[in-house]
Amino acid sequence: MRPSTFFIKSLPWGRRALALAAAAALSGCQWMYMNDRQSVMKVEGPVAQTQLDLFYVTCWVTLVIFIVVGSVLAYTIIKFRARSEADEHAEPPEQGHGNPFIEVGLIGASVLALAIIAFPTFKAIGFTYDVPEAEKAGALKVVATGYQWWFKFEYPGEQIAGAGNLTTGNELVIPAGRAVHIDLRSVDVMHSFWIPKLAGKVDMIPNRANLLWLKADHPGYYLGQCAEFCGESHAVMRFRVIALAPEDYAKWVTQQKLPAREVAVAAVAAPKAQFASLRTFKQNEIGFSADDPLESVEGWRANQFPDKDEDAALIAQGKALFQAKTCIVCHTIRGLPSAVGVRGPELTHVGARTTIAAGLLENNAEQLQRWIHNPSLVKPGNKMWVEGYLVNHITLSSDEEVALVAFLRSLK
Amino acid sequence: MADALAKSDFLGREEQAAPKPFVLWRPTAKTGLISWLTTVDHKRIGFLYGISALFFFLVGGVEALFIRIQLAVPNNSFLTSTQYNEMFTMHATTMIFLAIMPLSAAFFNFIMPLQIGARDVAFPRLNAFSFWTFLAGAIIVNLGWFLKSGAPDAGWFSYAPLSTRTYTPGHALDMWVMGIQLLGVASIAASLNFVITIINLRAPGMTMMRLPVFTWMTLVTAFLIILAFPAITIALVELMMDRLFGTNFFEVSNGGMPILWTHLFWVFGHPEVYILILPGMGVISEILPTFSRKPLFGYPIVVFSGASIGFLGFGVWSHHMFTTGMGTMGTAAFAFTTMAIAVPTGVKIFNWIGTMWGGHLQMRTPMIFALGFIWLFMLGGFSGVMHAAAPADSQQHSSYFVVAHFHYVLIGGSLFSLLAGIHYWFPLMFGRKVSEFWGKLSFWVIFCGFNITFFPLHFVGLDGMPRRTFTYDANMGWSQGNLVATIGAFILGVGVAIYFGVMIYTFFKGERTRHDPWDARTLEWSLPNPPPEYNYRVIPTVHARDNWWYEKHHQAEVSAENAKHAAEEAAHGGIHMPFQSIYPFFAGIGILIGAIGIAVIDPNPDPHVIIGRKLAVTLVGLLILVVSVYLWSLEGNEGYHLHPEDEEGHS
């Protein structure tokens, strides 16, 4: 047969296989470039482990079905193809109508395959829903509230005299090896709370009391992200979870309960040399440096200590600006008079967090200045901009930004 | 049966009724714009649905390409966040409501009456009204692109409270709401029409168990539409009430419950996905027997599976809500029912393979598309089963894993089967056959492009990338997967372009084909291609399933029968045809204007200010609608009679 006829009549099995293999290879190849930072496959806690084990069960069952059904399908296509022109005009084959035994057998096999998935499913539903009875007494209780577009974390078990629950934002610190029960709330629209390495997500729905439990097997640094479309900045509503050894966690709690850190000013120093003004960032530019020193427990730990090049005078200027520029209307800094706003995240110890703007920017001077310079460029529709800067006509000069940054970075 | 028909009004009396005084105009044009605006012919209406669907498919495809360009590289700024959110909202809305559903409707309209031996649907003018209302809905949903408020951007599922006025002010969402309402009206009207047609207008001898499977799937889909759309109608009415009149269905500050919207939406939304796949499964169930040259394996089981899927489809909706905190009982119940519905779906695949087993497989283009469908739908089914395991789903939900799953079943499943159907029925509808080479080339480019786009997304999703996100960071490791997916999307676009090019070329200049080019099995192939306006000169008598195959092998018996019936029908006045009418079109205009009017009403806290300029638009629209329907009812349904043997000079 001439090549063109051959091509036109029917594509040979080899060509088909090649196309399939190419498609699979192209897609499989890139798998090795994924780096598992937020992966559901590299789990580090029992809830996520249970969910992953169940996933593997479904993978095996569907793989077996694929091999069986796929081979029969492939065999059928090859074996029963009309081979030539003459073949196609031949008498039709035997006009069979079906076979009840095969039907019933296949239905039975399907039900069996599903039963293999069903039993571990029901078991996992029970296990993953709430903290196991045995661990309930010792579980840590956290309340996570979704806002457009950040997360508030409260520890009802840690009361601060005169200020209620210990409250932080966007970074959830938990003890490793201990169950954590998280109540999920929302003040505005639906959000979802997802830390892939520790647990599958549960939604945060206004007027609904959802809950999630998890446990981190070891100390570690975990990435989380909002997983329910919640408006303009849904894509950039992220958070961090830091699991610490129990002693470290206790130390962290003690530190957090303290009011904002004060940096004494020896004397009113002469104004420092001007900093180079903030560089221009590309629209939607990544907020993390390539080496990303803060993205680990060690990095987090290092960030708990004051910057070596702290400038006390600048910090004092920043503190004054924080009040003058109406930041206190939306943000709480315990120990700073009248800084009791609750519209935005609590900032009492914001300098000790590894990220800013809800897991979006690395918490260093440059990114922090980028953020307060124009929040709407970083998070579109951002409330700090729309309800703060625009409403209160907040404008910041470069020097003012630098001072505010110094102040915020000092809040360890 | 023939006697009963003869005595009924349906075939008409010998005398023509005198024209009624209120009838303003009887359109009689058979060509030109007026003939299309006033048509009540199911074949023309099917054609209108088809070209509208294919047009909106391209629109949705462009929206998809914009999405993929934005996600091709991390930290991209090709689209702003709002533009991206508009893109994914409109891509989904367009593809679901304006592409796949009307493409299915095109086949329901054109093919189903032919398959049951009928001359048209039960209510031809209502059929036209459904099309014009569909077009009105399509226009309204897309109006936002031309308005300052922009296109709707709250997602195709429009979850409350994001979709309430507090978080999404502006008329874009109101347009979306009214557009979907109109699409619902169109779908329900058409579905009622199809159900009545299938139950009442089958040819003599066509029992339910002799119906072609495509007609069965039309019936099941129609029931799904009739029963599922009211849920979203209610949800949308409640949302509009909240947005316009300050009610509190979803208003959290006053005790509203967003979870209510979620439930109502998915009570509709899940049957909707079966509405999207069942017609395609019906098409495949016609193509495989034809090109295997043997009957469908296990016809009763395939029909029963389709009906079971339709029925069980109402019991699984909360598998879209596994992460909403339904508690262990609720979650377990829906996980169970979701696994249960996998059984009839799998059974269909087994039966399709059984059809081909022992057959003589003709690898024509429709068959190649059908085989592609089976492979891809099977893969989509596997990821679906993975979702059924609710705890595993809590990691997959709202990630790209789900996106990969549903594109496998929607493109690999629904689209491939409908593209197969276009190739398969093209010779019947237009008398021309699509080139095998170009058809197969379009298949391979689409197949490869599709897999390159969506297969990697399974892995990207498992790597933690959430969906509906306008950007992602370069350090997440999702960059390569997304880039490959974007390249695949463009390859898919090239494949679609080839497919469209081929179709358009063939429509105008394609090779003419002989009658029944595939040596097919079902009744529609007994007609000339393209079929005459009245479809069957003589209503056939049905003796078996796959009646055309029976007729081909019992020609003498059938000729004698037909001659007898031809004489009977001529004696009763000939073929009864419906008059064309302009009123469905005018009613559509009325409903379009009325719906726009509702969508642009400004909510005003002062109840006395409700009567104003914007309400006038609504009133004008409603007036046009009411007058049109009134004249429609007055013009009557007498129709006229045709004697084709006289026209064509031979009997």
Q: In order along chain B (651 residues), what is the average pLDDT of each group of 10 residues?
A: 45 45 74 94 97 98 98 96 97 98 98 96 97 98 90 95 92 94 98 98 96 98 98 97 91 93 97 98 97 95 96 97 96 97 95 95 96 97 97 97 98 98 97 95 98 97 96 95 98 98 96 93 95 93 94 90 86 88 96 94 63 77 96 88 63 37
- Parallel, antiparallel or unpaired: strands A191-195 and A199-204: antiparallel
B297 in A contact zone (CB under 8 Å): yes
pLDDT exceeds cutoff 90 at A339: no
The Cα-based distances of B512 to A5, A383, B430, B432, B648 in angstroms read: 21, 64, 9, 4, 21
- What is the residue type of A281? F
pLDDT exceeds cutoff 50 at A26: no
Domain boundaries, chain B: 278-513
Phi then psi for residue B494, to 5 deg, are -65, -45
Query: Interior CA angle at B158 toward B153 and B162, to 5°?
Result: 80
pLDDT at position B207 is 96
pLDDT at position B148 is 83
Q: From CA A199, how far away is CA A52, in angstroms rounded? A: 10
Phi then psi for residue A27, to 5 deg, are -80, -35
pLDDT exceeds cutoff 70 at A249: yes
Nearest residue of chain B to residue A122 (CA atoms): B332
Cβ of A9 within 8 Å of Cβ of B452? The answer is no
- Mean pLDDT on A135-144: 96
CB B281 within 8 Å of CB B416: no
CB B44 within 8 Å of CB B36: yes
Cβ of B476 within 8 Å of Cβ of A38? The answer is yes
pLDDT at position B291 is 96
A95 in B contact zone (CB under 8 Å): yes
Which residue in the block uniquely carries the two structure tokens 């109502």? Answer: B264
Phi then psi for residue A217, to 5 deg, are -60, -45
B444 in A contact zone (CB under 8 Å): yes
Q: From CA B401, how far away is CA B384, in angstroms rounded? A: 10
Question: Average per-residue pLDDT in chain A?
Answer: 89
CB environment A125-157: b (16+ within 10 A), e (fewer): bebbbbbeeeeeeebbbbbbbbbbbbbbbbbee
Q: What CATH architecture is B278-513?
A: Up-down Bundle (1.20)
Cβ of B392 within 8 Å of Cβ of A55? The answer is yes
Among candidates B305, B296, B211, which has minimal Cα distance to A98?
A: B296
Among candidates A116, A114, A218, A238, which has minimal Cα distance to A171?
A: A238
Per-residue pLDDT tens digits for B176-233 = 999 999 999 999 999 999 999 999 999 999 999 999 999 999 999 999 999 999 999 9
This model of the complex carries an ipTM of 0.92
Is the C-alpha dihedral spanning B302, A89, A84, B444 positive or negative? negative
pLDDT at position A291 is 84
Segment holding B314, helix H or strand E = none
Cβ of B256 within 8 Å of Cβ of A207? The answer is yes
- What is the residue type of B56? F
Neighboring chain B residues of A182 at a CB cutoff of 8 Å: none
pLDDT at position A267 is 57
Q: From CA B102, how far away is CA B56, in angstroms rounded? A: 10
Mind telling me how many Å the CA of B605 is from chain A's nearest CA?
22
Q: From CA B88, how far away is CA B153, in angstroms rounded? A: 8
Per-residue pLDDT tens digits for B411-451 = 999 999 999 999 999 999 999 999 999 999 999 999 999 99
Cβ of B452 within 8 Å of Cβ of A26? The answer is yes
Neighboring chain A residues of B356 at a CB cutoff of 8 Å: 76-77, 80
pLDDT at position B471 is 97
Which residue in the block uniquely carries the two structure tokens 């039966």? Answer: B351
pLDDT exceeds cutoff 90 at A88: no
- Parallel, antiparallel or unpaired: strands A199-204 and A210-214: unpaired
- Mean pLDDT on A296-315: 92
CB A373 within 8 Å of CB A282: no
Record the pTM: 0.93
Phi then psi for residue A411, to 5 deg, are -80, 75
Mind telling me how many Å the CA of A321 is from chain B's nearest CA?
31
Q: In the numeric block, which tokens belong to residue B507?
A: 């429509």
Which residue in the block uniquely carries the two structure tokens 């894993």? Answer: B401
pLDDT at position B213 is 97
pLDDT exceeds cutoff 80 at A327: yes
Q: Which residues of B, range 239-258, sit inside 8 Å of A by Cβ?
A: 252, 255-258
B301 in A contact zone (CB under 8 Å): yes
CB A215 within 8 Å of CB A175: no
B304 in A contact zone (CB under 8 Å): no
Q: In the numeric block, which tokens belong to residue B573?
A: 């006045």
Q: In the numeric block, which tokens belong to residue B471?
A: 């950007």
- Mean pLDDT on A231-237: 97
Cβ of B358 within 8 Å of Cβ of A94? The answer is yes
